[in-house]
């Protein structure tokens, strides 16, 4: 990483670089050692420059959103992390089209879903209420086809702009993003989503706010929002619910170090304080082993591990 750092500093002196940046500051788990090099580009041009220089040294970047579905190794990450800022935090809206009754909401890849859903509500646009409590960014949400309470990205996504491994920007229609349960064509991590366009219908702002408040109350009642976590730790196994299987096996409250299977929601592993990546992975191993032995169902981690 030293060669890349030197190259970037020489060629792009205004680019924001951070060396040995603690990844615990950039994940909702609040876990993880330092990234060798983090770059925070503020424009598409800056991103293209970073990717070009990284390719020149045959370095594959890791694209970081809000870190809401990420567990970083205790020893950190020895590579390059790219996190979008600046213009990628912008939101724009178009008027409702008289032809189809739809308004377009354009959001940069690093916009938080909570902010995006509030903006939609304030503009009297419905369709993103489900996203109000999802802690991810637009880029991460599209990558995972994030969803909750019967809604998901695939229902409102119209278009995505993304930079490919060669640094060229490509536009994809929502239909061409291959969205399925917690998956998209971007899931392999080779693409960096810079912007997404959502199609929303006009609605009453007060009614939209009421639905969002209802979802927020339901989350507060059922999810352990008082502790750092990465949301649901396991994917939904076919024909089952991971949380129900874990609860059935009596694993609520199971603890390894500072990591615990939430006593409120068995699908969550929470950081009760000072949890390490090693703690979480050992706890996950014990849960998977027990559930498989007692139910015959094999759980698969939904959270990505970066090491």
The set of catalytic residues is 182, 232, 302
Q: Measured in Å, how far apart are the chain's first and last C-alpha atoms? A: 15
Q: Are 158 and 151 in contact (CB under 8 A)?
A: no
Task: For 229-286, give the DSSP string.
Answer: EEEESBPPPTTS-HHHHHHHTT-TT-EETTEEE-SS-TTEEEE-SS--HHHHHHHHHH
Question: Three-state secondary structure along 90-102?
Answer: CEEECCCCCCCCC
Nearest to 67, CA basis, from 25, 120, 6, 18: 25
Q: Radius of gyration (Cα) for the chain, nearest Å? A: 20
The whole-angstrom separation of Cα 218 and Cα 150 is: 13
The whole-angstrom separation of Cα 283 and Cα 257 is: 9
The whole-angstrom separation of Cα 34 and Cα 72 is: 9
Nearest to 209, CA basis, from 110, 120, 94, 138: 120
Tell me the pairing of strands 157-163 and 259-261.
Answer: unpaired
Alpha carbon of 52 to those of 41, 167, 239, 268: distances in Å? Answer: 13, 7, 45, 39
DSSP bridge partners of 6 = none
């Amino acid at each position: 990483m030293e060669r890349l750092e030197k190259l970037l500093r020489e060629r792009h002196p205004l680019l924001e670089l951070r060396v040995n940046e603690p990844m615990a500051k950039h994940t909702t788990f609040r876990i993880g050692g330092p990234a060798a090099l983090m770059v925070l580009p503020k424009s598409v041009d800056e991103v293209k420059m970073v990717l070009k220089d990284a390719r020149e040294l045959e370095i594959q970047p890791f694209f970081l959103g809000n870190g809401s579905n990420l567990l970083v190794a205790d020893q950190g990450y020895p590579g390059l992390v790219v996190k979008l800022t600046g213009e990628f935090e912008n939101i724009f809206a178009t008027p409702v089209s008289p032809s189809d009754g739809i308004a377009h909401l354009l959001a940069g890849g690093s916009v938080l879903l909570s902010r995006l859903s509030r903006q939609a509500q304030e503009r009297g646009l419905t369709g993103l209420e489900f996203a109000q409590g999802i802690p991810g960014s637009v880029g991460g949400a599209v990558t995972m086809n994030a969803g909750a309470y019967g809604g998901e990205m695939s229902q409102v996504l119209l278009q995505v702009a993304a930079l490919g491994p060669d640094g060229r920007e490509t536009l994809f229609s929502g239909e061409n993003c291959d969205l399925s349960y917690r998956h998209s064509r971007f899931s392999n991590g080779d693409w960096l989503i810079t912007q997404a366009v959502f199609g929303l219908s006009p609605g009453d702002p007060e009614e939209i706010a009421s639905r969002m408040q209802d979802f927020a109350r339901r989350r507060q009642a059922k999810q352990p929002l008082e502790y750092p976590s990465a949301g649901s730790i396991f994917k939904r196994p076919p024909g089952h619910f991971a949380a129900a299987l874990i609860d059935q096996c009596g694993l609520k409250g199971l603890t390894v170090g500072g990591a615990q299977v939430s006593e409120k929601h068995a699908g969550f592993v929470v950081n009760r304080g000072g949890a390490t990546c090693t703690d979480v992975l050992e706890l996950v191993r014990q849960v998977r082993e027990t559930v498989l032995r007692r139910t015959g169902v094999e759980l698969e981690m939904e959270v990505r591990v970066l090491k």
